[in-house]
Amino acid sequence: MKRRTALKLAAASLIAGSLTVGTAQAGDTVKIGAVAPKTGPLAGGSTVTHWPNIHLWVHEVNARGGLKLKDGRKMIELIEYDDQTNPGVHIKAAQRLATQDKVDFIVAPYGTGFNLASAPIYAKHGYPQIAVSAISDKIPELTKRYPGIFFTLGSTTSFASAVSDILSKMRADGKMGSKIAMVNVADAFGIELAETARPIFKKAGFEIVYDKSYPLGTQDLSPIMKGAKASKPDAFVAWSYPPDTFGLTKQAITQNLDVKAFYTAVATCFPAYGKVFGKSIEGNLGAGGVDPTTPAMKAYRKAHMEVTGKPADGWASANTYVSLQVLEQAIEGVGSVDRKAVTQFIKDNTFKTIMGDIDFVDQVSHRYWTVGQWQGGEFYGVASKGMPNAKPVILKKGWK
């Protein structure tokens, strides 16, 4: 057993079967459960954007004396599980949180596929599910089926259309041609984005000269990049997850892929991405973005580094933290852990966050970044829905 203490929050981690369990030692608390990868293919992403922000939020709430409820302040008791990037393990852990640990709330899963797969469990037990790391064109169907699910990142169409719009403008400005090499990770996230992007790119007058998928966890991506390079594209687009974002970029540099626009999705915004590849990624496009110049974002990033010892990334970190700000304000607005009332409060109110005012219309937020770009060593938002201060896009000028 490994024990660590932060302020009045105490948690013990115990390896039990295929799950890592955290049991809190506090007395009169609000129990918060969290299930996400700490191991497996998606652990590289969740340990950068998901877990640090949960720990930061719990630390800050407890440092303030806990959540303000009608019957007084209550500290947060955090119970954690590692789903090992396995949907079956995730669902088992979520059920355990609900039925055995009897937590008051559960933080939404990490990743599109996990949010969709576990939605029935969260709905069955009445947990509000603020799906901060999920995009889908099935949102209207999902929100109708699950009254407690909320989406903060928009639809698959909005993401694919934003990339298409950027490429279309570059072509209209005479900076690139119409040939696109497109690849995707073969899971719910990548498959849906690729299926959505094909007609969008075609309608915009682009020709997809290379179209390839690869399994989640693929180690050797050199054949993928070799095929893309052989197609002589003007732009490269990858609907990728963290391991392949790094792998594809490494191969693009190694094989000297000559394109005017290079886009990889999740993890392009990671500080480690900038650290590993340095100035070679100037002009690289990726999913999301932030405006790092606002006072609120600067304060958040400072706290993130001080509390977790890790820098926040340029997109998902802030979004994850925002979802927890929403949950906190909803719990305190209701003044209790009545999940039905908290869910309704989220639907009916506007929330003050580090990314500005956030509200949900039909359980969907309509303010989010869609595309970011590395410029001068920082990942800036360059396209969004409803977010101000997008930076102009710059041209990719090689890898050196």
Could you tell me which residues come within 8 angstroms of residue 390 by beta carbon, excluding any fewer than 6 positions away?
289, 380, 381, 382, 383, 384
Q: Show the DSSP H helices in 263-338 as ranges.
A: 271-277, 295-308, 316-334
> Any idea which fold 156-289+370-385 has?
Rossmann fold (3.40.50)
Same CATH fold assignment for domains 2-151+293-354 and 156-289+370-385? yes
**What are the extents of the domains in the chain?**
2-151+293-354, 156-289+370-385
Query: Residue 188 has what pLDDT?
Result: 87
> Any idea which fold 2-151+293-354 has?
Rossmann fold (3.40.50)
* CA–CA distance, 350 with 230 (Å, rounded to integer): 50
Identify which of 20, 6, 76, 30 has the alpha carbon closest to the alpha carbon of residue 309.
6
Q: How many helices (H) and strands (E) does the chain have?
A: 13, 18
* CA–CA distance, 212 with 232 (Å, rounded to integer): 15
Report the DSSP pairing between strands 72-82 and 29-36: parallel
* CA–CA distance, 358 with 121 (Å, rounded to integer): 26
Query: Residue 13 has what pLDDT?
Result: 32
Query: Residue 66 has what pLDDT?
Result: 97
* CA–CA distance, 358 with 152 (Å, rounded to integer): 9
Task: Check if the beta carbon of residue 81 is closer than 8 Å to that of residue 93.
Answer: yes
Handedness of CA 308, 313, 318, 323 (dihedral sign): negative
Query: Residue 25 has what pLDDT?
Result: 40
Distances in Å between the Cα of 87 and the Cα atoms of 36, 91, 94, 200, 217 are 10, 6, 10, 30, 15
291-318 residue pLDDT tens: 999 999 999 999 999 999 999 999 999 9
Residues in the chain predicted with pLDDT less than 70, given as ranges, are 1-27
Could you tell me which residues come within 8 angstroms of residue 60 by beta carbon, excluding any fewer than 6 positions away?
303, 307
342-395 residue pLDDT tens: 999 999 999 999 999 999 999 999 999 999 999 999 999 999 999 999 999 999
